[in-house]
Structure 1
Amino acid sequence: MLHKTYPFRVRKKYFTWILPVLFPFAAAMAQNADSAWIRINQLGYTPAGVKVAVYGSKGTGSISTFHLVDSATGKKVLSKTAGRAMGAYGPFQQTWRLNFSSYTRPGTYYLQSGKTRSPFFRIGKDVYDGAADFCLRYMRQQRSGFNPFLKDSCHMYDGFTLYGPMPDSTFVPVSGGWHDASDYLQYSTTSANATSHLLMAWRDFPSVFTDHHAANGLPGSNGIADVLDEARWGLDWLLKMHPKDEWMFNQIADDRDHAGMRIPGLDTMYGRGYERPVYFISGEPQVRGKFMNNTTGTSSTAGKFASAFAIASGIYKNIDHDFSKLMQYKAGTAYQFALRKPGVTQTASVKSPYIYAEDNWVDDMEFAAATLQRNGEAMHYARQEPVTPWLGDDTAKHYQWYPFINLGHYELGRNLKGKQRDSVLQYYRTGIVRVWNKAKTNAFYRGIPFIWCSNNLTTSFAIQCYWYRQLTNDQQFRELEQANFDWLFGCNPWGTSMVYGLPANGDTPVDPHAAFTHLMKAPIDGGLVDGPVYGNIYNNLIGIRLNNPDTYAPFQSQLAVYHDDYGDYSTNEPTMDGTASLVYLLAAFQWAAGK
């Protein structure tokens, strides 16, 4: 079941040792006297899917076999050799991959090797059902303008312009959209990307989604899938941020937001009452703390507008013809704005150096051209950046290669035939191989760098693997794809899901860096948190201080740290765009399981 269980989850982190019989996660921990753990995907596994867990030990001893055990009867239903040891990783001195893919009977089980047991997990075709819809809870909670979670409005006075062709401080009505993360900044680049992912999720997997909410996010069916309602919320805001053919805005608010936590309706951080600044896409450098950012043009953000509008135009043809025509027109004007000055648009900040330091733009233009059916232009851009640069690397700047994978290759793979199609699919394969060459050396098949928002990269990379497999039927990287998915839901050194409240009664974040939980003690169901970062990144970030004893202290390492603590904004802050990408990934996995 997917439901709010916030009071239970708050207790779980700190008190489950009292009732080990009732709480299988605690029971498993109690049996780890030999300092070994078996990490699983807490959501479960599908009968026909890849099923792998990871055994990690603090000692140097060896295991030779493992068993799959029926949780109800205690009967061993499968026994297998553990295979070769995979060596040290993070906090573990020795690790093994425990592959039980051959077992297909639905039920509830646990894995055991020696005295070490995993938590209970399910095998079933329905293990991912409802998960994508569950994550839409967080998207609705992030709404600016009318917020259905609060049943109140916020940020209704946005905002006053900066860097535009109009006089600075000109008022433009741009209320709406989503708050970017646990702060209240709003970025066009992340919002357009999130909107595209939600639209594509409905386009590619419409049967997965349900209709339990009205367009304003309040409970009540309106005849339209909730994911499409959420995408429409994003589209309506993007229209406000592109109100004229020659006008486009990049963001609302800036890092002055970070002065303190508050409920969104009380946001008065800019010296003008409830008004906030709105930054125009000028194509020129704008403020970045004591310096200026490295903006070189208009293409990266405007290209994302164009693709979101173009996808929407196709979807709404049979739903709202007039809106479809508007989307088609706006896709064209956004594309022309992107061509105004080819280059990248970075975000602005006033006090700190932290920005979305995006450095690539031809991928955005490829995606825009492909969704506009301008395949020749799209191939021109595809050849300029065939592989997203971070794939296979150990590090990157924050959002340097956004949106982390090349969405345009997927659209071209759907549109083209022959040699051109083969070329873009080979681009995907090359990137996957670069990650695989790193991942195959460790038991978690981890080849994603532990940079800020590593969970977002993990989600996106899993989507690239999925798209490549669907477009080519090449099954070579299926286990790598599943490993990245499993990582997000507990098959990681910390044994925790990275999604608040998913699964219910699992080990998931309970103390995220979020105003709703910190100030209101309210859940942020479905929010994907940033995820682990390298130890050296964590140690050099400004203003981090843990507020509680570290629940995961035994599993921290110089390689990577993750803290379920409000004080750690680097690993435990949920993000809107990461969650939207996860909606797509979860929809894909639910659809595949139900085929």
Structure 2
Amino acid sequence: MKILLTGCCCLILLAVQAQQSWIRINQLGYKTAAPKIAVWCSKTNTPVSSGQVINADNNKVVFTIKGIKQFGAYGPFTQTAQLNFSALTIPGNYKIKAGNAESPVFRIGNEVYAGTADFGLRYMRQQRCGYNPFLKDSCHTQDGYALYGQQAGIPDSSFVDATGGWHDASDYLQYATTTANATYHLLMAYRDFPTAFTDTKSANGDEGPNNIADVLDEAKWGLDWLLKLHPQKDRMFNQVADDRDHISMRIPGLDSQYGKGFQRPVYFINGEPQQRGKFMNNTTGTSSTAAKIASAFALGAGLFAKKQPAYADLLHNKFFSAYDYAHIKKGVTQTVSVKSPYIYAEDNWTDDMELASVYAYRLDKEKSLQPAFEYAQAEPLTPWFTTDTAAHYQWYPFINLGHYELAKQLKTRTDPVSQEQYKTIIDFYKQGIRAVAERASANAFNRGVPFIWCSNNLTTAFAIQCYWYRSLTGDTQFEQLEQACFDWLFGCNPWGTSMVYGLPARGDTPVDPHSAFTYLKKYPIDGGLVDGPVYTSIYKNLIGIKLYNEDSYAPFQSDLAVYHDDYGDYSTNEPTMDGTASLVYLLAAQHTTPAGHQTMSKGAIIRGDSTQKTIALVFTGHEYNDGGSFIANTLAQKNIKASFFLTGHFYEQPAFTTVVKKLNSAGHYMGAHSYAHLLYCDWKKRDSLLITQKQFTTDLLQNYNVMKKKGINTAASTYFLPPYEWYNDTITAWTAKLNLQLINFTPGTISNADYTWPELPNYRSNEAIYNSIIKQAEEAPAGLNGYILLLHIGTDPRRKEKFYTLLPKLIDHLKNKQYRFVTIDKLLKPEDKKI
């Protein structure tokens, strides 16, 4: 973990400088089947000829890396080489040694990216304008006053309600174009990977689930603001505030520097050039922003159709008016600055129109896909793919989203014209990837993305394009390049740092970003993706940059590119909400695989394969067994198997012996739930342990000893469900040391509330519980696929209505929906044995 340098900085730098060789890895880890390439880099002239992968738990060599590919000099290094260990697929904790260098410890396992997409949402919530759930306060509530809207009958300085949305970066400007793009990526992430996300927050971002995935809550925050920016068919706004914001760093609140009290300017989209200090921007039309907004509305309408139909209808209607607005004057809408020369200098718009035209067809089949194809031909490749430089946000978004949506539509058609058009679009993607791949092939980091401002955003976008190309075609020739871009973001880069604040928790990540939250208040900005390295020539020519501390990465700066983890470097170390939203999509894609997928949370499996209509009924028990006989008989009558996780105390009770024997002899899965039903960690501070590892191990092994005495085959009971269903990363690690896999119930229903009784504040009736299960089965995108559905074998006598009495009805209903019931070991495929 890197620390912020203070008085001891010279000693730390001397220690770094004394080292001459390093091994860069993805600090998050690697999936078992993924390409795995670390980079050895050195300031010596001696190349490395071999490497070893070592089990970090026992220091045994488990894999020898041979055939090392040498690349010579790159950036600050005189020698670099690729260490390919893709053939190592056994889950575990590892480190790599090559020459005199040793890598940080990393993990191989299919769970390594679990929860990371949700982690990125922390930064999005922190960037909220209006009510901010992180600050528990509201800001910019008086936005704003209109500019440039006279042609639509809006006098300059008249009030426009523009409160809401997200602050764009560490400043508090807000742009329709970046907000629409961020919103679209969040909506896509849920559409394509719904099981990557949980529901722990309310709509306003405060604690508490609301039966809507947190990523959809966040996307709706963006949609709501975009609706304000397009209040009626002939009105649309592009920007709130301008670079006068930069007068000072402050926690968001009252901005009075615009001369209108606490209101900020709201810039109307009129399709004409607008103020840019001494200059005018290069706006040529209304298409780029309006088309992005329209596409976000269209995708949102589809995803909210069942959850909030009235809201979905509003978005549906707003799509068509925004789409019409995009046609008022075809061209690009750029942003405005007043004092500085820096703007979002977007120069392309046909890609945005391509995407919106696909949705026009999808929402109105009387329309044709031909306009979308024609727009696609106007920009076959996103221009930065074939160049080494570009203006700030010149080609935005940094990926052609329209190609992907158009290709999906064309792929489903069988007519020759559509098939030819599909091949054309796919070839556009392939050409772009090849252009970057050609540059990447010349260096050990597989780096083909130019070091322009926001290079991390480009890296994320390019990795998504590689993923889409592979998903659409099945062609895996660029998979290694795709993985290299992902690895770069999390530490496999010359600086050896993750580019995401706080991810991974124990890794080398930014600690001193260009952010008022961290600089003024020392608040963490978890999940924020920083801008990333820039060409040294760019850095040296930017206005107002200075470093506030000794450069902790000084040995790794070069004439090629720089990255500084320093508050003063706004070019490389400022997080952005649109880049973070794109990363949320990429992390969700890494989290989910097409088949055999297991959803993880803090290292515990919480869901099986979400593509299969299988459910594991899981029953836990400690004190009560009033439902045991009824449940056993019901399962026998319905001819299904379930899984029972019972405490040692339960197994030992003489009164419960008959039920235990009956369940065991019937072939149900019998598991452990701790011996004494201990509470492992604090309810409010989950990272705070309430037990020691010795207490944990002794208690759990006692549970298994009692099971063995009861005639249960404990060797087959490798899954462990924690007491209270409450645990943290440490508990997961302790469980793994016992060669067990921690599991927990799948969130989304309130089945686990069947233990509550009316006097409790969290009481849930049988009807409420039953309806929550049915609603999840019938309305969620993946239904109850792969679900671990948790109930209790008995409940407190104060609960008079027993939910297990509804078990026959529930089983029949779900069977009619084609769900199959299996035991937990059949639901979850165990990973390969550990070394």
Task: Give the aligned partner of residue 4 of structure 1.
Answer: none
1:9 Cα deviation from its structure 2 partner: 6.5
Q: What do residues 88-133 of structure 1 show as CA deviations (whole Å, max 9, x unaligned)? A: 1111111001110000011100000122100000001100000010
Q: What amino acid sits opposite 1:475 in the alignment?
A: T
Task: Give the aligned partner of residue 448 of structure 1.
Answer: 449
* 1:484-563 map, 5 Å: 484-563=485-564
CA RMSD between the two structures:
1.7
Provide closer, same or farther for how the CA distance between residues 122 and 156 of structure 1 changes in structure 2, counting only shifts above 3 A.
same
Q: What do residues 420-477 of structure 1 show as CA deviations (whole Å, max 9, x unaligned)? A: 1111111100000000010011000101110100000000000000000000000000
1:30 Cα deviation from its structure 2 partner: 6.5
Q: Does 1:253 pair with 2:253?
A: no
Given candidates 340, 346, 354, the residue that maps to 2:334 is 346
How far, CA to CA, are the matches of 2:250 and 2:15 in structure 1? 39
Provide closer, same or farther for how the CA distance between residues 16 and 286 of structure 1 changes in structure 2, counting only shifts above 3 A.
closer
How far, CA to CA, are the matches of 1:473 and 1:298 in structure 2? 37
How far, CA to CA, are the matches of 2:370 and 2:300 in structure 1? 21
1:267 Cα deviation from its structure 2 partner: 2.2
Q: Judge conservation of contact 1:545–1:567 (CA < 8 Å) in 2.
A: yes
How far, CA to CA, are the matches of 1:130 and 1:14 in structure 2? 36
* 1:128-139 map, 5 Å: 128-139=113-124
Given candidates 187, 198, 201, the residue that maps to 1:210 is 198
Q: Judge conservation of contact 2:381–2:429 (CA < 8 Å) in 1.
A: yes
Q: What amino acid sits opposite 1:362 in the alignment?
A: T
How far, CA to CA, are the matches of 1:9 and 1:151 in structure 2? 30
1:396 Cα deviation from its structure 2 partner: 0.5
Q: What amino acid sits opposite 1:403 in the alignment?
A: P
TM-score w.r.t. the length of structure 2 is 0.68
Task: Give the aligned partner of residue 473 of structure 2.
Answer: 472
1:558 Cα deviation from its structure 2 partner: 1.0
Q: Secondary structure in 2 aligned to 1:266? A: coil
Q: Does 1:147 pair with 2:148?
A: no
Task: Give the aligned partner of residue 691 of structure 2.
Answer: none
Q: Judge conservation of contact 2:95–2:102 (CA < 8 Å) in 1.
A: yes
Q: Judge conservation of contact 1:13–1:507 (CA < 8 Å) in 2.
A: no
Provide closer, same or farther for how the CA distance between residues 422 and 13 of structure 1 changes in structure 2, counting only shifts above 3 A.
farther
Q: Judge conservation of contact 1:13–1:551 (CA < 8 Å) in 2.
A: no
Q: Does 1:434 pair with 2:435?
A: yes
* 1:33-52 map, 5 Å: 33=18, 35-52=20-37
Q: What amino acid sits opposite 1:415 in the alignment?
A: Q
1:268 Cα deviation from its structure 2 partner: 2.0
How far, CA to CA, are the matches of 1:419 and 1:442 in structure 2? 36
How far, CA to CA, are the matches of 1:470 and 1:32 in structure 2? 43
Given candidates 218, 223, 246, the residue that maps to 1:235 is 223
Given candidates 298, 308, 313, the residue that maps to 2:301 is 313
More relative contact order, 1 or 2 (CA 8 Å, 6+ apart): 1
Q: Secondary structure in 1 aligned to 2:375? A: helix
How far, CA to CA, are the matches of 2:386 and 2:170 in structure 1? 30
How far, CA to CA, are the matches of 2:79 and 2:99 in structure 1? 15
Q: Secondary structure in 1 aligned to 2:70? A: coil
Q: Does 1:582 pair with 2:565?
A: no
Q: What do residues 315-367 of structure 1 show as CA deviations (whole Å, max 9, x unaligned)? A: 11111111111111111000100000000000000001100000000000001
Q: What amino acid sits opposite 2:390 in the alignment?
A: A
Q: Judge conservation of contact 1:309–1:328 (CA < 8 Å) in 2.
A: yes
How far, CA to CA, are the matches of 1:47 and 1:413 in structure 2? 30
Q: Judge conservation of contact 2:143–2:163 (CA < 8 Å) in 1.
A: yes
Q: Pick the structure with greater CA Rg.
A: 2
Q: Judge conservation of contact 2:202–2:208 (CA < 8 Å) in 1.
A: yes
Q: Does 1:284 pair with 2:272?
A: yes
Provide closer, same or farther for how the CA distance between residues 99 and 317 of structure 1 changes in structure 2, counting only shifts above 3 A.
same
1:392 Cα deviation from its structure 2 partner: 2.6
Between the aligned residues of both structures, percent identity stands at 64
How far, CA to CA, are the matches of 2:388 and 2:217 in structure 1? 38
Q: What do residues 50-83 of structure 1 show as CA deviations (whole Å, max 9, x unaligned)? A: 1110000111101110000011111110002252
Given candidates 30, 39, 48, the residue that maps to 1:63 is 48
Q: Judge conservation of contact 1:32–1:116 (CA < 8 Å) in 2.
A: no
How far, CA to CA, are the matches of 1:70 and 1:242 in structure 2? 57
Q: What amino acid sits opposite 1:478 in the alignment?
A: E
Q: Does 1:179 pair with 2:153?
A: no
Q: Work out the number of aligned pairs and report it.
A: 579
Q: Judge conservation of contact 1:128–1:590 (CA < 8 Å) in 2.
A: yes
Gaps of 5+ in 1: 1-7, 19-25
Q: Secondary structure in 2 aligned to 1:268? A: coil
Q: Judge conservation of contact 1:31–1:117 (CA < 8 Å) in 2.
A: no
Q: What amino acid sits opposite 1:81 in the alignment?
A: K
* 1:310-459 map, 5 Å: 310-373=298-361, 374-417=368-411, 418-459=419-460
Deviates more, 1:540-549 or 1:78-87: 78-87
Task: Give the aligned partner of residue 213 of structure 2.
Answer: 225
Q: Judge conservation of contact 2:51–2:98 (CA < 8 Å) in 1.
A: yes
1:34 Cα deviation from its structure 2 partner: 5.2
How far, CA to CA, are the matches of 2:169 and 2:61 in structure 1? 45
Q: Judge conservation of contact 1:391–1:431 (CA < 8 Å) in 2.
A: yes
Q: Secondary structure in 2 aligned to 1:210? A: coil
1:10 Cα deviation from its structure 2 partner: 4.8
Given candidates 74, 78, 88, the residue that maps to 2:59 is 74
How far, CA to CA, are the matches of 2:9 and 2:212 in structure 1? 41
Q: Does 1:124 pair with 2:106?
A: no
Q: What do residues 184-214 of structure 1 show as CA deviations (whole Å, max 9, x unaligned)? A: 0000000000000000000000011000100
Task: Give the aligned partner of residue 653 of structure 2.
Answer: none
Q: What amino acid sits opposite 1:328 in the alignment?
A: H
How far, CA to CA, are the matches of 2:479 and 2:487 in structure 1? 12
Q: Judge conservation of contact 1:146–1:176 (CA < 8 Å) in 2.
A: yes
Q: What amino acid sits opposite 1:227 in the alignment?
A: V
Q: What amino acid sits opposite 1:430 in the alignment?
A: Q
How far, CA to CA, are the matches of 2:171 and 2:96 in structure 1? 40
How far, CA to CA, are the matches of 1:475 and 1:17 in structure 2? 46
Q: Judge conservation of contact 1:55–1:95 (CA < 8 Å) in 2.
A: yes
Query: 4+ residue runs of structure 1 moved beyond 3 angstroms?
Result: 8-18, 29-34
How far, CA to CA, are the matches of 1:587 and 1:99 in structure 2? 25
Q: What amino acid sits opposite 1:62 in the alignment?
A: P
Q: Judge conservation of contact 1:31–1:116 (CA < 8 Å) in 2.
A: no
Q: Judge conservation of contact 1:299–1:361 (CA < 8 Å) in 2.
A: yes
How far, CA to CA, are the matches of 2:36 and 2:18 in structure 1? 26
Task: Give the aligned partner of residue 804 of structure 2.
Answer: none
Q: What amino acid sits opposite 1:479 in the alignment?
A: Q
How far, CA to CA, are the matches of 1:89 and 1:392 in structure 2? 21
Q: Judge conservation of contact 1:392–1:438 (CA < 8 Å) in 2.
A: no
How far, CA to CA, are the matches of 1:393 and 1:10 in structure 2? 36
Q: Judge conservation of contact 1:202–1:209 (CA < 8 Å) in 2.
A: yes
Q: What amino acid sits opposite 1:405 in the alignment?
A: I
Task: Give the aligned partner of residue 23 of structure 1.
Answer: none
Q: What amino acid sits opposite 1:197 in the alignment?
A: H
How far, CA to CA, are the matches of 2:500 and 2:162 in structure 1? 30
How far, CA to CA, are the matches of 2:141 and 2:221 in structure 1? 15
Q: Judge conservation of contact 2:16–2:555 (CA < 8 Å) in 1.
A: no
Provide closer, same or farther for how the CA distance between residues 16 and 292 of structure 1 changes in structure 2, counting only shifts above 3 A.
closer
Q: Judge conservation of contact 2:255–2:262 (CA < 8 Å) in 1.
A: yes
How far, CA to CA, are the matches of 2:6 and 2:118 in structure 1? 25
1:586 Cα deviation from its structure 2 partner: 0.1
Task: Give the aligned partner of residue 564 of structure 1.
Answer: 565
Gaps of 5+ in 2: 362-367, 412-418, 599-608, 610-835
Q: Judge conservation of contact 1:405–1:464 (CA < 8 Å) in 2.
A: yes
Q: Secondary structure in 2 aligned to 1:98? A: strand
1:84 Cα deviation from its structure 2 partner: 2.8
Q: Does 1:103 pair with 2:88?
A: yes
